[in-house]
């Protein structure tokens, strides 16, 4: 299981990214659906403070203290700095959980901040980027990024032997260069994300509250066309997951699954996450 998600606009959104044990947003029902996996979560990244993205925090913090499982593991919650609603939730949880068996850490984040996940040969980090949602609240999206190494493009014509020889004479850095590969991007609630923020990501989760532009009355969420345009312009490599779909489209569920798949001219697969259903990506 790579991803476990639940997303229904206005009600609840959360996405569990198992590779790095991260929960992106924590809408209602997260702990009851995740069950024992709630203990696996190391970090929670919150996009903004609306109830449908943070109301599951109360259950998650509590269950890790009370249910059977490893209660020693620290839990870190990252949130947009100066977000009023999340600050209030933080105060409530702190006051009502004075004696936790594990360490609970709240970390304010600003656009551009990097949070290290792994060090070593292939370091990984989460990077925050700004999103546009509502005017009176700070909101963020997040990229999971891996630092990788590749042959310098100017040396691509060399044979294996020539490369080995060059490493011997000039060292490894003369032959390889590092690059930062985005593995997963989550935009939270937002109008169309600026493609530069999620450029070349492998997997993008984009707000798709509206399938039809004419249903959008206020400019604070994205449409399916905008989600696809963002993914195309960002050159998404593998998958676009359209999340936060309004339940008004529930009657069209069959049409939704028909709309998922490979589109002509796009390099990535488009999947519409049906509102109100648990969705697993293996």
Binding residues (CB under 5 A) for Zn ion: these are: 50, 52, 189
Shortest distance (Å) from residue 248 CB to Zn ion = 14
Nearer to Zn ion, 50 or 194 (CB): 50
**DSSP string spanning 202-240?**
SEEEEE--BSSGGG--STTS-BHHHHHHHHHHTT--SEE
Q: Which is nearer to Zn ion, 131 or 181 (CB)?
A: 131
Q: How many Å apart are CA 92 and CA 72, to the nearest integer?
A: 22
Could you tell me the two tokens for 137?
């609240």
Q: Which is nearer to Zn ion, 50 or 124 (CB)?
A: 50
Coil, strand or helix at 41: coil
Q: How far is the CB of 16 from Zn ion (least distance, A)?
A: 17
**Minimum distance from CB of 244 to Zn ion (Å)?**
6
Smallest gap from Cβ 188 to Zn ion, in A, equals: 7
CA angle at 8 for the pair 52 and 220, rounded to the nearest 5°: 70
**CB 14 → Zn ion: shortest distance, Å?**
11
Other residues' Cβ atoms within 10 Å of the Cβ of residue 84: 11
Q: Which is nearer to Zn ion, 187 or 195 (CB)?
A: 187
- Bridge-partner residues for 4, per DSSP? 16, 280
- In the complex with Zn ion, which residue's Cβ is closer, 145 or 245? 245
């Amino acid at each position: 299981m790579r991803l476990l998600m639940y997303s229904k606009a206005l009600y609840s959104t959360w996405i569990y990214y198992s590779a790095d044990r991260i929960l992106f947003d924590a809408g209602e029902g997260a702990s009851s659906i995740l069950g024992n996996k709630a203990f696996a979560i190391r970090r929670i990244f919150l996009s903004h403070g609306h109830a449908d993205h943070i109301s599951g925090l109360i259950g998650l913090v509590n269950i890790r203290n009370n249910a059977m499982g490893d209660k020693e593991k620290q839990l870190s919650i990252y949130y947009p700095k100066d977000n009023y609603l999340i600050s209030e939730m933080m105060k409530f949880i702190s006051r009502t959980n004075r004696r936790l068996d594990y360490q609970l850490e709240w970390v304010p984040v600003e656009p551009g901040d990097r949070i290290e996940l792994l060090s070593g040969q292939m370091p990984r980090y989460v990077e925050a980027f700004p999103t546009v949602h509502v005017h009176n609240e700070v909101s963020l999206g997040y990229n999971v990024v891996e630092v990788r190494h590749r042959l310098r493009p100017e040396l691509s014509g060399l044979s294996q032997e020539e490369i080995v020889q060059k490493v011997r004479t000039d060292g490894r850095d003369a032959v390889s260069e590092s690059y930062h590969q985005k593995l997963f991007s989550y935009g939270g609630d937002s109008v169309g994300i600026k493609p530069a923020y999620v450029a070349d990501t492998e997997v993008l989760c984009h707000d798709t509250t509206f399938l039809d532009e004419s249903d959008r009355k206020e400019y604070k969420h994205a449409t399916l066309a905008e989600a696809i345009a963002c993914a195309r312009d960002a050159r998404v490599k593998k998958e676009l997951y359209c999340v936060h779909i309004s339940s008004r489209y529930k009657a069209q569920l069959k049409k939704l699954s028909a709309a998922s798949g490979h589109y002509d001219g796009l390099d990535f697969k488009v999947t519409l996450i049906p509102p109100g259903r648990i969705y697993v990506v293996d």
